[in-house]
């Protein structure tokens, strides 16, 4: 066991597997804090993952790939917001529709644009960052340095989001809209606009998570490659009590369970039990091991402005 | 407002239907090479072949893609009409198979061990339709042929190559004498590769440690990559991915860490030319093409059809130049011994 815990790969895999959970969880936090239940993160991630590869391939630049993925992800999110906020459609069904659509849509585009041999092997990848000084520290350096640039971006975004949500006026307004939209409107806040903002931000963060999967960790897209991370992210968000730091912590925990299950595969334990680890943890998280978590009061309730 | 909601739900329903259908792109273009007589041509054109892929999908760089290449070849060379549906999840199997059978397709091909129950069910309901299932062992239906690949044999050969490479010295190899294999799901067609690989390595290099891990799925290259990185951190300098699309991540990890990878099913060298030293081949394309031809010629045989080294149904891809000729010769020697039965390869994974 000691040998496993001292293997730096365990910890860098934890970070690598936590990143595509933390980003959509952060996105979900914004959306739900503004009062819109967003389970479409899975679909947005998948669509963004595809467009990241497409734009990276077309432009020859992984950065433009990331940018393209963000733009497309936010477009999908805004369409979601239009249906959920303006047209007050059922948010869960809408999210599900986007997820199913994303799966078929990306598979169709993959075949139509790239043919059956998949995405080109010369697609550029986002760089890994080596941090000077830190990279020379034994053990710690191997974990904290040399990760994908998205991993560091994710950490910055977590801190920035926490500041934005809890220490700025706009953040306070977003939270007000998710708790009590009537009162917020009485105070002169535009509920609809802020809900659009919350959902758009969830699209932004989910898109970065999707791009991380396709051009951060790899340089290819394959069908359904998000493989349920958008849903696990929902669990991380709830476990993290709808806060950026909480979501990040939960994502790290799930990432750690996944990384640990990879390390334990060659131990004496049954492989099937080991592979269950991350999922058992998800269930435990959801039944409230981490204490009671209360969702924003108006979460999932469509709001029609009083005229 | 209410009217808008009705319109919206209709739009949603439409989008849902579209996305479900988007998997089955129709592939019925005009044939470039027509068979000789026009009568024959129109007969073949009316002969319809439907392919149902497993969840890995048609761009999995491995067996679904090979199955598709086989039917494409049949389309071009025999002039038959072909079509395919990609299964999104395991619950789609029955629906997708039924869809082709109902439209009176002459032959329906199910790609994958996981579709066994679905094929048993659907083939009973449509006794006039012929079915081919890849990687399964259905023997009690007169209208079902099961293609079984002795992949433990090609797994053995790439294992021999890996075991011998561990004795070599170059920049990509360390001196820890560890190799790794990463499976997708723990199912027989995956395990037979792994079992063969283990035995092949041990046959030439008994001291080599063979790490065995499973990703638990075939469509998550991100976890495939982390799994490979984990094995590399445990000393592996040759990794063999038997995990469909998840295997893409294995090759990516090997490339990043500058070690060797072994491809699976198809020759995957093009994915990373300096990294993928060889691939264990499983010629699913031969199986689908041959079966289409046999049904067309009224030669269809139900039950098990074996593909092994002897009939060139499995094999290994031409190794890159890092693999010395002496090793390739040795591998060929083992191939000969498997063909003539001197070596029997088990398909059971060693714990």
Distance in angstroms (rounded) separating the CA atoms of residues B294 and B290: 6
Distance in angstroms (rounded) separating the CA atoms of residues A265 and B226: 13
| SS3 sequence of chain B | CHHHHHHHHHHHHHHHHHHHHCCCCCCCCCCCCCCCCHHHHHHHHCCEEEEEECCCCCCCCCHHHHHHHHHHHHHHHHCCEEEEEECCCHHHHHHHHHHHHHCCCCEEEEECHHHHHHHHHHHHHCCCCEEEEECCCCCCCCCEEEEEECHHHHHHHHHHHHHHHCCCCCCCCCCCCEEEEEECCCCHHHHHHHHHHHHHHHHHCCCCEEEEEECCCCCCHHHHHHHHHHHHHCCEEEEEEECCCHHHHHHHHHHHCCCEEEEEECCCHHHCCCCEEEEEEECHHHHHHHHHHHHHCCCCCCEEEEECCCCCCEEECCCCCCCCHHHHHHHHHHHHHHHCCCCCCCCCCCC
Mean pLDDT of chain B: 89
List the strands of the sheet with B209-214, edge to edge: B209-214, B178-183, B236-242, B260-265, B276-282, B314-316
What is the total count of domains within chain B? Answer: 2
Q: Which residue from B284, B306, B344 is spatially nearest to B148, judged by alpha carbons?
A: B306
Best mutation target among A24, A223, A268, A280 (most B Cβ atoms within 10 Å) is: A223
For chain A, what percent of residues have pLDDT higher than 70? 98
Chain A: nearest CA to B56, how far in angstroms?
A: 7
pLDDT for the residue numbered B59: 80
pLDDT for the residue numbered A298: 87
Distance in angstroms (rounded) separating the CA atoms of residues B264 and B261: 10
- Residue A268, in any domain of the structure: no
Q: Who wins on pLDDT, A181 or B8?
A: A181
Report residue B5's pLDDT band, with 50, 70 and 90 as the boundaries. low
Query: pLDDT digit string (tens) for B198-234?
Result: 999 999 999 999 999 999 888 899 999 999 999 999 9
Strand partners of residue B182: B213, B241
Using a CB-CB cut-off of 8 Å, the residues of chain A touching B232 are 9
- Residue B104, in any domain of the structure: yes
Distance in angstroms (rounded) separating the CA atoms of residues A20 and A247: 12
ipTM at complex level: 0.91
- Residue A44, in any domain of the structure: yes
A89:B5 CB<8 A: yes
pLDDT for the residue numbered B27: 39
- Residue A131, in any domain of the structure: yes
pLDDT for the residue numbered B29: 38
**DSSP strand pairing (B144-149 vs B107-111):** unpaired
pLDDT for the residue numbered A304: 83
pLDDT of A130 higher than 60 = yes
Q: Are residues B326 and B189 in the same domain?
A: yes
Distance in angstroms (rounded) separating the CA atoms of residues B282 and B286: 9
A104:B252 CB<8 A: no
pLDDT for the residue numbered B344: 95
Across the interface, which of A8, A94, A222 has its CB nearest the CB of B245?
A222
Best mutation target among A107, A146, A212 (most B Cβ atoms within 10 Å) is: A107
Q: Are residues B214 and B326 in the same domain?
A: yes
Q: Are residues B276 and B296 in the same domain?
A: no
A227:B220 CB<8 A: yes
pLDDT for the residue numbered B75: 94
Query: pLDDT digit string (tens) for B115-135?
Result: 999 999 999 999 999 999 999
- Residue B8, in any domain of the structure: no
B88:A224 CB<8 A: yes
Cα–Cα distance list, B26 to A111, B52, B74 (Å): 12, 13, 16
Please report how many Cα atoms fall inside a 13 Å half-sphere around the Cα of residue B268, on the Cβ side: 33
pLDDT for the residue numbered B22: 44
Chain B: nearest CA to A105, how far in angstroms?
A: 6
DSSP letter string, chain A: -HHHHT-HHHHHHHHHHHHHHHHHHHHHHHHHHTT----THHHHHHHHHHHHHHHHHHHS-HHHHHHHHHHHHHHHHHHHHIIIIIS---HHHHHHHHHHHHHHHHHHHIIIII-TT-S-TT---PPEEPPTTGGGSTTHHHHHSSEEHHHHHHHHHHHHHHHHHHHSHHHHHHHHHHH-HHHHHHTT--HHHHHHHHHHHHHHHHHHHHHIIIIIS-S---TTTTTTHHHHHHHHHHHTTT-HHHHHHHHHHHHHHHHHHHHHTTSSS-HHHHHHHHHHHHHHHHTTTT------TTTT-------
pLDDT for the residue numbered A1: 73
Report residue B10's pLDDT band, with 50, 70 and 90 as the boundaries. low
Q: Are residues B145 and B292 in the same domain?
A: yes
Q: Are residues B208 and B82 in the same domain?
A: no
For residue A254, how far is the Cα from the chain centroid?
13
- Residue A58, in any domain of the structure: yes
Q: Are residues B331 and B201 in the same domain?
A: yes
pLDDT for the residue numbered A287: 78
- Residue B348, in any domain of the structure: no
- Residue B272, in any domain of the structure: yes
pLDDT for the residue numbered A273: 84
- Residue A98, in any domain of the structure: yes
Q: Are residues B89 and B213 in the same domain?
A: no
Range 76-95 of A in CB contact (< 8 A) with B: 83, 87-89, 93-94
B59:A111 CB<8 A: yes
- Residue B143, in any domain of the structure: yes
Residue B7: count of CB within 10 angstroms of its CB: 11
Residue B191, token pair as written in the block: 């395990």
Q: Are residues B90 and B226 in the same domain?
A: no
Chain A: nearest CA to B145, how far in angstroms?
A: 26
Query: pLDDT digit string (tens) for B95-110?
Result: 999 999 999 999 999 9
Non-local (6+) Cβ contacts of A297 within 8 A are A178, A179, A180
Contact A49, A214 (CB under 8 A): yes
B213:A262 CB<8 A: yes
Q: Are residues B68 and B82 in the same domain?
A: yes
B220:A225 CB<8 A: yes
Range 98-117 of A in CB contact (< 8 A) with B: 100-105, 107-108, 110-112, 114, 116-117
- Residue A240, in any domain of the structure: no
A89:B8 CB<8 A: yes
Distance in angstroms (rounded) separating the CA atoms of residues B287 and A222: 25
What is the total count of domains within chain A? Answer: 1
pLDDT for the residue numbered B53: 92
pLDDT of B7 higher than 70 = no
A13:B226 CB<8 A: yes
Across the interface, which of B25, B56, B211 has its CB nearest the CB of A111?
B25
A266:B234 CB<8 A: yes
Phi-psi sector, B244: left (phi>0), alpha (psi -120 to 50), beta: left
Report residue A32's pLDDT band, with 50, 70 and 90 as the boundaries. very high
Residue A38 burial (CB < 10 Å; 0-12/13-18/19+)?
buried
- Residue B25, in any domain of the structure: no
pLDDT for the residue numbered B204: 97
Distance in angstroms (rounded) separating the CA atoms of residues A102 and A42: 8
Average pLDDT over residues B150-174: 95
- Residue A291, in any domain of the structure: no
Chain A: nearest CA to B256, how far in angstroms?
A: 10
Using a CB-CB cut-off of 8 Å, the residues of chain A touching B18 are 101, 104
Q: Which residue of B has its CA nearest to A10?
A: B230
B86:A87 CB<8 A: no
Q: Are residues B143 and B155 in the same domain?
A: no
Average pLDDT over residues A105-120: 88
For residue B274, how far is the Cα from the chain centroid?
23
Chain A: nearest CA to B89, how far in angstroms?
A: 10
A224 interface with B at CB cutoff 8 Å: yes
Non-local (6+) Cβ contacts of B284 within 8 A are B63, B66, B67, B70, B111, B134, B147, B149, B265
Report residue B28's pLDDT band, with 50, 70 and 90 as the boundaries. very low
Task: Establish, for the pair of chains A and B, how many residue pairs have beta carbons separated by less than 8 Å.
Answer: 151
Long-range contacts of B94-97 (CB under 8 A, 24+ apart): B94/B118, B94/B121, B94/B122, B96/B52, B97/B52, B97/B122, B97/B131
- Residue B315, in any domain of the structure: no
pLDDT for the residue numbered B25: 40
User: What does pTM read for this prediction?
Assistant: 0.87
Report residue B248's pLDDT band, with 50, 70 and 90 as the boundaries. very high
Q: Positive or negative CA dihedral for B258, B260, B265, B268?
A: positive
B59:A7 CB<8 A: no
pLDDT of A88 higher than 60 = yes
Chain B: nearest CA to A6, how far in angstroms?
A: 11
Least confident of A44-58, A253-267, B196-210: A253-267
Residue B87, token pair as written in the block: 């299964």
Average pLDDT over residues A122-129: 93
Using a CB-CB cut-off of 8 Å, the residues of chain B touching A213 are 222
pLDDT of B34 higher than 60 = no
A8:B233 CB<8 A: yes
pLDDT for the residue numbered B13: 63
Residue A109 burial (CB < 10 Å; 0-12/13-18/19+)?
middle
Best mutation target among A43, A47, A116, A276 (most B Cβ atoms within 10 Å) is: A116
Average pLDDT over residues B158-174: 95
B214:A89 CB<8 A: no
- Residue A11, in any domain of the structure: no
pLDDT for the residue numbered A202: 97
Mean pLDDT of chain A: 92
A89:B225 CB<8 A: no
A262 interface with B at CB cutoff 8 Å: yes
- Residue B26, in any domain of the structure: no
B25:A20 CB<8 A: no
B211:A266 CB<8 A: yes
Query: pLDDT digit string (tens) for B297-319?
Result: 998 999 999 999 998 999 999 99
Query: pLDDT digit string (tens) for A201-236?
Result: 999 999 999 999 999 999 999 989 999 999 999 989
Residue B52 main-chain phi, psi, to 5 deg? -110, 115
pLDDT of A195 higher than 50 = yes
pLDDT of A289 higher than 80 = no
DSSP letter string, A191-216: HHHHHHHHHHHHHHHHHHHHHIIIII
A9 interface with B at CB cutoff 8 Å: yes
Q: Which residue from A179, A262, A68 is spatially nearest to B225, judged by alpha carbons?
A: A262
Best mutation target among A15, A81, A266, A302 (most B Cβ atoms within 10 Å) is: A266
Chain A: nearest CA to B141, how far in angstroms?
A: 32
Average pLDDT over residues A46-69: 97
Q: Are residues B139 and B119 in the same domain?
A: yes
What CATH number does the domain containing B101 carry? 3.40.50.2300
Least confident of A244-258, B18-32, B99-113, B260-274: B18-32
Q: Are residues B90 and B212 in the same domain?
A: no
Range of the domain at B252: 151-281+321-339
A100:B21 CB<8 A: no
A121 interface with B at CB cutoff 8 Å: yes
A262:B227 CB<8 A: yes
Distance in angstroms (rounded) separating the CA atoms of residues B25 and A10: 42
């Amino acid at each position: 066991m000691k040998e496993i815990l001292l293997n730096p790969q365990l910890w860098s895999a934890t970070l690598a597997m936590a990143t595509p959970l933390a980003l959509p969880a952060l996105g979900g936090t914004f959306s739900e804090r503004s009062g819109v239940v967003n389970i479409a993160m899975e679909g947005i991630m998948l669509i963004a993952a595809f467009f990241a590869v497409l734009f990276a391939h077309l432009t020859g630049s992984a950065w433009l790939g990331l940018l393209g993925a963000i733009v497309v992800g936010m477009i999908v999110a805004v369409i979601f917001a239009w249906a959920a906020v303006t047209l007050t459609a059922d948010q869960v069904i809408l999210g599900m529709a986007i997820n199913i659509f994303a799966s078929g849509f990306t598979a169709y585009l993959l075949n139509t644009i790239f043919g059956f041999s998949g995405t080109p092997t010369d697609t550029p990848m986002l760089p890994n960052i080596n941090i000077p000084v830190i990279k020379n520290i034994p053990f710690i350096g191997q974990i904290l340095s040399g990760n994908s640039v998205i991993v560091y971006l994710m950490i910055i975004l977590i801190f920035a989001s926490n500041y934005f949500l809890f220490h700025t006026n706009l953040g306070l307004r977003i939270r007000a809209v998710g708790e009590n939209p009537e009162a917020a409107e009485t105070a002169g806040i535009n509920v609809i606009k802020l809900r659009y903002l919350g959902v758009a931000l969830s699209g932004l963060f989910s898109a970065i998570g999707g791009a991380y999967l396709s051009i951060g960790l790899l340089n290819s897209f394959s069908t359904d490659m998000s493989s349920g991370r958008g849903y696990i992210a929902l669990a991380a968000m709830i476990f993290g009590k709808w806060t950026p730091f909480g979501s990040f912590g939960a994502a790290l925990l799930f990432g750690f369970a996944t990384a640990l299950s990879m390390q334990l595969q060659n131990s004496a334990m049954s492989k099937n039990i080991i592979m269950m680890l991350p999922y058992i943890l998800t269930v435990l998280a959801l039944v409230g091991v981490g204490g009671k978590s209360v969702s924003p009061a108006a979460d999932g309730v469509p709001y029609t402005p009083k005229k | 407002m209410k009217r808008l909601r009705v319109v919206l739900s209709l739009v949603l329903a439409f989008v849902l239907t579209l996305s479900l259908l988007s998997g089955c792109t129709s592939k019925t273009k005009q044939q470039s090479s027509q068979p000789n007589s026009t009568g024959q041509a129109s007969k073949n054109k009316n002969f319809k072949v439907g392919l149902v892929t497993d969840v890995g999908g048609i761009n999995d760089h491995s067996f679904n893609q090979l199955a598709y290449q086989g039917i494409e070849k049949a389309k071009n060379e025999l002039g038959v009409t072909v079509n395919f549906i990609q299964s999104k999840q395991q619950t789609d199997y029955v629906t997708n198979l039924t869809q082709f059978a109902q439209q009176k397709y002459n032959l329906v091909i199910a790609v994958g061990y996981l579709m066994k129950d679905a094929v048993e069910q659907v083939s009973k309901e449509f006794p006039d339709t012929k079915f081919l299932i890849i990687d399964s062992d259905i023997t009690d239906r007169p209208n079902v042929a099961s293609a079984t690949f002795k992949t433990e044999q090609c797994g053995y050969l790439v294992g021999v190559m890996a075991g011998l490479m561990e004795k070599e010295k170059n920049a990509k190899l360390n001196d820890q004498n560890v190799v790794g294999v990463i499976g997708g799901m723990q199912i027989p067609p995956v395990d037979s590769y792994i079992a063969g690989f283990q035995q092949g390595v041990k046959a030439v290099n008994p001291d080599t440690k063979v790490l065995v891990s499973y990703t638990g799925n075939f469509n998550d290259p991100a976890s495939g990559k982390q799994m490979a990185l984990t094995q590399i951190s445990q000393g592996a300098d040759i990794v063999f991915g038997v995990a469909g699309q998840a295997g893409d991540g294995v090759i990516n990890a090997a490339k990043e860490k500058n070690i060797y990878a072994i491809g699976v099913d198809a020759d995957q060298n093009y994915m990373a030319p300096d990294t993928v030293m060889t691939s264990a081949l499983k010629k699913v394309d031969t199986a689908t093409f041959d079966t289409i031809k046999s049904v067309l010629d009224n030669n269809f045989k139900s039950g098990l059809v074996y593909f092994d080294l002897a009939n060139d149904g499995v094999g290994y891809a031409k190794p890159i130049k890092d693999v010395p000729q002496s090793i390739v010769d040795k591998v060929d020697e083992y191939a000969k011994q498997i063909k003539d039965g001197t070596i029997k390869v088990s398909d059971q994974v060693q714990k």
